[in-house]
Structure 1
Amino acid sequence: MNHLMIDLETMANESFSAIISLAAVEFDINTGQTGKEFYINISLQSCIDLGLIVNADTIMWWMKQTDEARKSLLNGTVHIVDALTSFSGFCNKDYQVWGNSARFDLGILQNAYNKAKLPICWDFKKERCVRTLVSFKPEIKANFKYAGTAHNALSDCYNQIQYCHLTWSQINS
């Protein structure tokens, strides 16, 4: 499997947002089959200490999400540098990495790596955008039944993989 879906949960919606959860799942775009997964919750304080930001609108948005989504962010948080180092051990430059959109998930993640003075673990030339793919057949995502906990980074990865696979399959049929 040479595709990797990445999803973040953040405390802002800007380039240098604090990341509170990072997930990734490898997959085959042609079959929708998934492989190994990565999931980690990140200490908000460590993100702030690194210079990543929080905004009030996002905090208010999180307060309106389900208890399940909010509580899932509190289990076993680690320092942002440890999370990035761990993710670097999981990801590699062979993957085509996907984000929703590439400049949100992948851009924010790259900015965190830069702030931590760590090299990114993927090849920037292999970045792919979920939103661009979805735009070719928007009705697929619009009619997709979400499974799991919305705004849980791991659940979001699995759902994004499935509607991307369906879209890819229809485009290529």
Structure 2
Amino acid sequence: MRIDVMTDIETLGTNSDSTIIQISAIAFNINTGEYISEFNKIADIALNKTNNITGGTLIWWLNTNKELLTELLNEGEGSSEELLQSFNEWLLELSLDGEIHLWGNGILFDNKMIQHQLESIGLRYPIHYKNDRDVRTIVDLASAKLGITEKELKDRYIDDSLVHHNAFDDVKYQINLVVGCYNELIKLNKR
């Protein structure tokens, strides 16, 4: 059985070894958007042995949503390594029911960073190489099919109740977007 999982991370840098402060994911039905299982954890970076932070990312956070950054930095439980271990365990448990397709909003960021950091702590990335999925690619294809810009397509799925850059809310938005695009591409959506 196929299991689609949308993931999003919040970090303190853009390098593969940058400190991850939040991992959120939802296993979902790609046809309906129904949620199957949820994961949402925040790390307490004060417990990390080291933190890899880039100045540009820190400035970006302070200019984008310093209140959310403050909230994330004060609500963590466990180190970033423990966060990764917990996420890995959640994925492995899900994989007992089927083959996981892991979606990221840029597989070379979210998925690749998760893979790199799991491997750096001695854990195997539990996603088969052919099952990494990219939100940006499906949005590109669906917008081309519909003859609209990617921004116009993304705007259709905006939910003002969601907090931008809170990984759990970003996951919910990305699921709505991917399900909508998927249904457009396979002609299930009869708008």
Same fold per superposition (TM over 0.5): yes
Distance (Å, rounded) in 2 between the aligned partners of 1:22 and 1:162: 18
Q: Is the 8 A contact 2:45 2:76 kept in 1?
A: no
Deviation of 1:48 (Å) = 6.1
Aligned partner of 1:5 in structure 2 is: 6
Over 4 Å off, 4+ runs: 45-48
Letter in 1 for 2:5: L
One-letter code aligned to 2:164: A
Partner SS, residue 24 of structure 1: strand
Separation in 1 of the partners of 2:107 and 2:156? Answer: 23
1:105 match: 110
Matches within 5 A, 1:152-171: 152-171=166-185
d(CA) in 1 for partners of 2:48, 2:140: 33
Cα distance in 2, alignment partners of residues 160 and 47 from structure 1: 29
Specify whether residues 109 and 47 from structure 1 end up closer, same or farther in structure 2 by C-alpha distance, changes over 3 A only: farther
Describe the SS at the equivalent of 1:8: strand
SS at match of 2:108: helix
Q: Deviations over 1:75-123 (max 9, x none)?
A: 1331122112211221134211101111100101111112212222322
Is the contact between residue 68 and residue 149 of structure 1 (CA under 8 Å) also seen in structure 2?
Answer: no
Structure 1 CA distance for aligned equivalents of residues 19 and 8 of structure 2: 13
Is contact 1:8–1:21 with CA below 8 Å preserved after alignment? yes
**Highest CA radius of gyration, 1 or 2?**
2
In the TM superposition, residue 67 of structure 1 has moved relative to its aligned partner by: 4.9
Q: 1:134 matched to which residue of 2?
A: 139
Instruction: Find the aligned partners of 2:76 and 2:56 in 1 and give their Cα distance.
Output: 25
Shift of 1:47: 5.2
Percent identity between the aligned chains? 27
Select which of 135, 141, 148 maps to 2:162.
Answer: 148
CA separation in 2, counterparts of 1:31 and 1:126? Answer: 20
- Counterpart of 1:55 in structure 2 is 54
In 2, are the aligned partners of 1:69 and 1:150 still within 8 Å (CA)?
no
Q: Is the 8 A contact 1:19 1:47 kept in 2?
A: no
Residue type at the aligned position of 2:112? G
In structure 2, C-alpha distance between the alignment counterparts of 1:108 and 1:89, rounded to whole Å: 17
How many residues align structurally? 171
Q: RMSD value over aligned CA atoms?
A: 1.9
Q: Distance in 1 between matches of 2:45 and 2:154?
A: 31
- Give the deviation of 1:60 after TM superposition: 0.5
Per-residue deviation, 1:45: 4.6
What is the alpha-carbon distance in structure 2 between the residues aligned to residue 45 and residue 125 of structure 1?
36
